Structure 1
Amino acid sequence: MPPPLVRRLAAYCGAAGLITGLLTVTAPAASASGTTTDLGVTDSYTADLAVGGGRVFVPAGDRIIVADTDGNLTGGVVTGLSGVRELAVNADGTRLYAALTGSNEVAEIDTASLAVTRRIDLSAHPCPSTLALLGERLWVGHACDNGPGGVVGLDLSAATPVPVAVGGEHMRAPVLAAAGDTLVVGRTSLHHADMLVYDVGGGTPELRGTIDGKKWRMDYLRDLTLSSDGGTLFSAADTPGHFTRYDTRTLAATGTYGDGWDGYPSAVALGSDGAYVAAGRQWGSTDLTLYDAATGAELFAADQPDAELLPDGVAFSGTDVFALLRSSTDRLLLWRVTGVALPATKLTVTAPADAYAGSPITVEGRLTSADGEALGLKPLTVIQYLPGWTKLPITGVTTLQDGTFTFQDTPVFELPPYVGEVIYWVFWDGDDGHRRSSAFATVTVKREATLTLTGPQSGVVGTAVELSGVLTADGRPPSPGSTLTVQRTLYVKGTSGKTVKLPPVTVNADGTYTFTDTPANAGRYSYLASYAGDGGTGPAQATHQIIVK
């Protein structure tokens, strides 16, 4: 896993720009991978969004805000609603359903005109909050703050749907998911959150069994989604910390996504083809992660450092993913991450591990499809990051036909100590057939050290000789307290004798140093002084020879 700085850079470069200026409705802030749009409302409760019919619907208190699938506000708003909680869109995107806790109703809305076409009374089942739609059957989870609640089913083909209870009571409105022949009812706000699996293929829900929350350590369930055939369930819960996949026939866990700690799982969605799982987290280092549904491999990760991803706040729109965020000032934000479900690409970046200040650095790399095929001429975005988050774009970098690229850069440090780590972040924005990709290389830029060593050319056995020199770093004295290692080797008649390590030598504040040695035998003495370098200065060596008789 990359270090925190790199993970934040990944979020900044590969996800979206930092969120600023949220006090008024603004146009989407374009980024390399999509947009973040301020929805123009302050809301501390909303936690849902729905996508269908080429639009994105977000509940916000007494209204539903509408955006297009590019993340732009359409100007359309559904008003006259009381306490909108969860939404559901039918398969062809023509009808939208909204749970209204304030008026104890479910509203049916025409998505073309945004007019409320029907209100279904649920006063006998107050505080409708969660929804699951399957064809003409809608299931509604309800419960007020003082409980209890439950689940009712509605036949939407009836002129006046009659609520039919499903199962027993629930202390809180359960999380619902329906697909194929399966309805799942997940208990919420519980230490061990059971998930009740119903067979709805015959019309009337029949309990198939229970996925035991204690057995699978399922605490505080947040969101559920099902595969299109209803055979596979995906859950997001505070514990065990990862997203879990279950078989709704055997009621057993069959896999996990994200075993490392990146935040509390809060939202989960499955792409229309079932190939990808979009996973949202709260209070961690990563807001959104895309996984391969079959293998669990992580394919993409991004973070919005200044906002919180909301429960049940992730949905696919073709190859894009939408996520609902709340800023630190409770502003609702719609985050569109584009192309994450496109075929993967691979970008590699290499650079020398170390370089000296003032010297050019050569950075190389290659962009290919996941199977290694070159993608031809592609423009790349390159950003140089210096210590202190100083950033500088490097323009004009493009791949060749074989996918390779090369550029040179000489970093200019504006802040002391004028050396340190330089990160080169290279990003390709993808195209209609390929997912974006990014990679980075880190180079440690140091001062170049120079070391001299002088002394007499000859000496006498048993008589001390004095040697001296100067250590500098880019022409300036080295760090205070710098030390040198010194060794001497005796050569007699051209044959190397024993090498002896002498005591360490401390360098003076002005970079000068002196040491003495007393040769005990005749021969040619070779002295090697070495400076190992430090965090900001490279190594250096110097030699001197003395003929002793």
Structure 2
Amino acid sequence: MRIHKRTAVALAAALIGSLPLVGAGAGTAAAEETSVALPSTSFRDIVVDGVHDRVFVSDPTGGSIVVTDYAGAVVQQITAEEGAAGLVLSADSTKLYVALSTVGAIAEIDTVTLTETDRYPTGADTSPQSLAMAGGKLWFGYTVGSSGGIGSLDVASSAPAATLVPSGRYWYYAPALASSPADPNVLVAGEEGVSPASLAVYDTAAGGLQKRTERSFISSPSISYLNDFAVTADGQNIVIAANNPSDHQIVRLSDLSSNGYHSSWQFPNAVAVAADGTVATGAEGDFVKTYRPGSTWPAFREYAVNDLQRDGLAWAPDENRLFAITGFSYGSAPTLHVLPDAGKLDTTLSLQAPATSSRGKDLTVTGQLSAAEPFPAGTTVEVTRTDAGHPAGTPVGTLPISTSTGEFTITERPRETGDITYTATYKGDGQHMSATTRATVTITK
């Protein structure tokens, strides 16, 4: 069962003179959530290609990459990708890089043809697990023997070759990696599955790893058994999902000091940050929640996606869709959940009109479009009229809303008696949901 809660937006309606009014209001027109079982046997990572509207999901046990469209329909399954683990897209989304954990290599896949075009060895006995782009290079976290490390691959070179790079510390396992959308040279590394958890922040501008800061989270906050982390869109903070504590901790990227948290019930295991700064958090024993940029409470939206997997959240670059991966714990196949409009604000559209009006007299209907955040300049609402002479409806006009109040006005002089129904439609934009509402007026002699 999936539950979706929406944030309510308050609307104040103005009266028109002393006439009795009838009002009609309508909220957000929500798109349908979908769930699709994937033809894979395991899950490790998910990335979204906003140029080609594709979702890539790695399947290490099956050695494949499942490719779907934005609706979740499987487009292709790329096979012979041994131990496919971490995924990352090139900046222009022309290439997908895949960490091949069981053969010590990184595969390069063309995102148009969906075929492997090259393969780069990462070194003898290495097992690459995680990937991130920073400083113009592809970085990978790997294990070798009983320890881990970080390597780089200069994919812009005419002959890319992997290099194992000193990181200034000992890693028990392959570190997970993340980069900063606000600073292309920042690379964050974290060790999963240990207590206490630890993070290190590096500068990659000079081609190597210059450590900026490092911390083991023994206290304030105490964090153990790291599952996932992501840098916020402004590059100021890191949001952490770990088994303990039962909240998504936020730490400053500059010195890794505590900077708040997003509330969760138990076992936080996933986090993703949209390009506009909206944060999505997930936990094995809680809802998937989203938060507006800079906000830690209350949640903007909540989705019940049972059995969310570690690292199982990813945003589409347009911030309008959130993708989640569930499965395994209850014997089910990996399932891709498409949560459309997860980053958009709810809108409320209303019409206020008198219950009756006289034929041949001016009839004024007012409307208002509102949301928790402002609409862009030039926002319009389309209005149609349905009456005895136009049973299929006829356009009244495309009306601009007031930038300060969101209001718009319709003024007509009806020539026939009977009921008139006005329908107002807001088509939505990149940040706001669409909405439709209606109001009916009876025209008398």
**TM-score between both structures, scaled by the size of structure 2:** 0.69
The aligned residue for residue 217 of structure 2 is 213
Pair 1:47 & 2:48 matched? no
The aligned residue for residue 344 of structure 1 is 346
1:9–1:323 distance in 2 versus 1, CA, 3 Å: closer
The aligned residue for residue 434 of structure 1 is 432
Larger Rg: 1
Whether the 8 Å contact between 2:147 and 2:172 is mirrored in structure 1 is yes
CA deviation profile, 1:29-76 (whole Å, cap 9, x unmatched): xx95321111123x2x423101113210011231101011232222x2
Whether the 8 Å contact between 2:165 and 2:208 is mirrored in structure 1 is no
The amino acid that maps onto 2:176 is V
The aligned residue for residue 272 of structure 2 is 269
CA deviation profile, 1:355-376 (whole Å, cap 9, x unmatched): xxxxxxxxxxx99533699x99
1:273–1:367 distance in 2 versus 1, CA, 3 Å: closer
Which structure ranks higher in relative contact order (CA pairs < 8 Å, sequence separation ≥ 6)? Answer: 2
* 1:241 Cα deviation after fit: 1.5
Give the whole-Å Cα distance in 1 for the aligned partners of 2:216 and 2:248: 16
Aligned to 1:143, the other structure's residue is in SS state: strand
The amino acid that maps onto 1:37 is V
How many matched pairs? 339
The aligned residue for residue 57 of structure 1 is 56
The aligned residue for residue 193 of structure 2 is 189
Give the whole-Å Cα distance in 1 for the aligned partners of 2:231 and 2:125: 26
The aligned residue for residue 475 of structure 1 is none
Pair 1:102 & 2:102 matched? yes
1:431–1:316 distance in 2 versus 1, CA, 3 Å: same
1:470-481 mapped onto 2 (5 Å cutoff): none
CA RMSD of aligned residues (A): 3.3
Runs of 4+ in structure 1 over 6 Å off: 375-378
> Any gaps of 5 or more consecutive residues in structure 2?
7-29, 350-367, 384-406, 408-426, 436-445
| Match 1:251 to one of 256, 263, 268 | 256
1:132–1:47 distance in 2 versus 1, CA, 3 Å: same
1:228–1:183 distance in 2 versus 1, CA, 3 Å: same
1:207-356 mapped onto 2 (5 Å cutoff): 207-215=211-219, 216-228=221-233, 230-258=235-263, 261-274=264-277, 276-284=278-286, 286=287, 288-297=288-297, 298-304=299-305, 307-317=306-316, 318=318, 319-326=320-327, 328-345=330-347
Give the whole-Å Cα distance in 2 for the aligned partners of 1:166 and 1:335: 39
Give the whole-Å Cα distance in 1 for the aligned partners of 2:162 and 2:63: 25
Pair 1:199 & 2:203 matched? yes
Whether the 8 Å contact between 2:96 and 2:110 is mirrored in structure 1 is yes
The amino acid that maps onto 2:129 is S
> Any gaps of 5 or more consecutive residues in structure 1?
1-7, 15-30, 348-365, 379-401, 403-429, 438-549
1:47–1:330 distance in 2 versus 1, CA, 3 Å: farther
1:125-144 mapped onto 2 (5 Å cutoff): 126-134=126-134, 136-143=136-143
- Report percent identity of matched pairs: 27
Whether the 8 Å contact between 1:154 and 1:164 is mirrored in structure 2 is no
* 1:302 Cα deviation after fit: 0.9
1:337–1:367 distance in 2 versus 1, CA, 3 Å: farther
The aligned residue for residue 391 of structure 1 is none
CA deviation profile, 1:398-438 (whole Å, cap 9, x unmatched): xxxx9xxxxxxxxxxxxxxxxxxxxxxxxxxx95563489x
The aligned residue for residue 504 of structure 1 is none
Give the whole-Å Cα distance in 2 for the aligned partners of 1:332 and 1:152: 30
**TM-score between both structures, scaled by the size of structure 1:** 0.56
Give the whole-Å Cα distance in 2 for the aligned partners of 1:312 and 1:436: 31
